[in-house]
Amino acid sequence: MRWLALFLVCSVFLPVASALAGSSEPLSGTQTWQAGAAAVVITPPEAMWMSGYASRDRPAQGKIHDLFVKALALRDPGGRTAVLLTCDLVGIDRATSQQICRRIQERHQLSRDQVAIATSHTHSGPVVGTNLLSMYSLEPSQQQLVQQYTGLLTDWCVTAADQAVAALQPVQLQVSEGVAKFAVNRRNNREPDVPMLRTEGKLVGPVDHRVPVLAARAADGKLVAVLFGYACHATVLSGMDWCGDWPGFAQLEIEKAHPGTIALFWAGCGADQNPLPRRTVELAMEYGRQAAVAVDQALAAQQTPVQGSLSTVYREIDLALDTLPTREQVEQDLKSENVYLARRARGLIRQLEEHGSLAQAYPYPIQVWSLGDAATLTFLGGEVVVDYSLRIQQELARDRSWVAGYSNDVMAYIPSRRVLMEGGYEGESAMIYYGLPTKWSADVEEHIIREVRSLHAAVAKKGEVQK
């Protein structure tokens, strides 16, 4: 009954989405886009397991603020629609993502490329589906809660999408960028040294401090929705309370400054980027404030209007793994004193028994949305390191080429070749917690970049055809 009560509570968001529809009078001109947004609470009602940190040994104990799934529906002047879901979750597994997208596709007559799911990567959210399950040893009652919650999450995501589509209205879409500088490359700077290094201007390592912003304004100029991103882990907090971490606080700040607006966040290529220093609620709120200030600066600056058509493509590639372990090696790991190695080994043994072998590749999702000539948004699965966004921005030579990681399926870290060769957590050992049998092949970066180039060419071609 408590699960049902939460679902009924979430229905109060229906009037919110409908209210955003506002005036049905079209904007001036013929190239009119439409947008609609909605938000639904996804905070678990039960004390279930939290995701993101292997050190946790008990369920959540409280709440700092609610978690949300938010939906942004876009429709170009030609009637082509796309729906983006943003979720306050550490990640989402392939099966859950597929089920959510399939249901939205069926309800709104969309193809797979027209639906995207982005997660904030907050480490203060619940375990979902099979994401990061090798990190935890859950009792049957907790396993059941994860299954129940995953089913409800699917329903809530579909509800948010329905509300956003129902709220579509004529808007002026605009893009711009702000800057926030609290992300630090964690592989190149020792956490205790960061305050001193920042003061002395000696922080090193690649970063992406851009804050991409997509704003939708109604005919009366009111801000209907604002979508923004940033390349940084949501790991300020490590406690036992539900919270969206700094991205959650940023969205609350934006919505407070712009009443009636729905703010949506996507995590960029921040797999090797941390908000430093960290570990207090006050710091999470401060970084959220800094991100919100960056968004407001972008909104106040000269913005580029989105004109033309919406083009979308989606592809899954067989992303190769390195040399696979033998059955003997997996069986040896079963005896390991490292509980995470042993848990992964148990999962790999099940795969060997069911399929006779381990998969040599993973079906890796890449998705690209082109918003006319104004901006291109690339969605990459997994925890993607910053090298990817910097390289895509440079090679595609577009002013507004944005990259969202943690999208559609968060199956593992995605290192660049540099990070893979350096090794360490992002390069190899994190694969243990995700349950994959080994690290990626040396071609991982080039394979992904080749496909990104191909998909960008495909959306450009679609855009030309649709003109």
Separation between Cα atoms, residue 19 and residue 63, nearest integer Å: 28
What pTM, to 2 d.p., does this model score? 0.92
Q: Are 454 and 368 contacting, i.e. CB atoms less than 8 angstroms apart?
A: no
Confidence of residue 134 (pLDDT cuts 50, 70, 90): confident
Q: Are 46 and 144 contacting, i.e. CB atoms less than 8 angstroms apart?
A: no
Identify the burial level of 3 via C-beta atoms within 10 angstroms of its C-beta, where 0-12 means exposed, 13-18 middle and 19 or more buried. middle
- The residue type found at 427 is G
Q: Are 45 and 78 contacting, i.e. CB atoms less than 8 angstroms apart?
A: no
Output the six-digit token pair for 308: 């033309």
Confidence of residue 16 (pLDDT cuts 50, 70, 90): very low
Alpha carbon of residue 277 to chain centroid:
23
Paired sense of beta strands 33-41 and 68-75, if any: antiparallel
Q: Are 119 and 91 contacting, i.e. CB atoms less than 8 angstroms apart?
A: yes
Separation between Cα atoms, residue 43 and residue 153, nearest integer Å: 9
Confidence of residue 137 (pLDDT cuts 50, 70, 90): confident
- Every domain of the chain and the residues it spans: 2-305
Strand partners, 229: 266
| pLDDT surpasses 50 at 353 | yes
Separation between Cα atoms, residue 291 and residue 218, nearest integer Å: 24
> What 3-state DSSP class applies to 165?
helix
Confidence of residue 87 (pLDDT cuts 50, 70, 90): very high
> What 3-state DSSP class applies to 86?
strand
| pLDDT surpasses 80 at 31 | no
> What pLDDT was estimated at residue 362?
98
Omega prior to 26 cis, within 30 of 0: no
Please report, rounded to a whole number, the percentage of residues in the chain having pLDDT higher than 70.
92
> What pLDDT was estimated at residue 460?
87
Output the six-digit token pair for 116: 């995207």
The pLDDT tens digits for 99-111 are 999 999 999 999 9
Question: 285-289: long-range contacts at Cβ-Cβ below 8 A with a sequence spacing of 24 or more?
Answer: 285/246, 285/249, 287/180, 287/182, 287/236, 287/246, 287/249, 287/250, 288/246, 288/247, 288/248, 288/249, 288/250, 288/251, 288/252, 288/253, 289/249, 289/250, 289/253
Closest listed residue to residue 76, CA positions, set 29, 37, 32: 32
Strand partners, 35: 74, 169
> What pLDDT was estimated at residue 62?
94
Identify the burial level of 317 via C-beta atoms within 10 angstroms of its C-beta, where 0-12 means exposed, 13-18 middle and 19 or more buried. middle
| pLDDT surpasses 90 at 391 | yes
DSSP state of 438: S
Q: What are phi and psi of 330, to 5 degrees?
A: -65, -45
Instruction: Specify the higher pLDDT residue, 467 or 8.
Output: 467
Number of H-type helices and E-type strands within the chain: 14, 21
Q: Are 182 and 275 contacting, i.e. CB atoms less than 8 angstroms apart?
A: yes
| pLDDT surpasses 90 at 25 | no
| pLDDT surpasses 80 at 398 | no
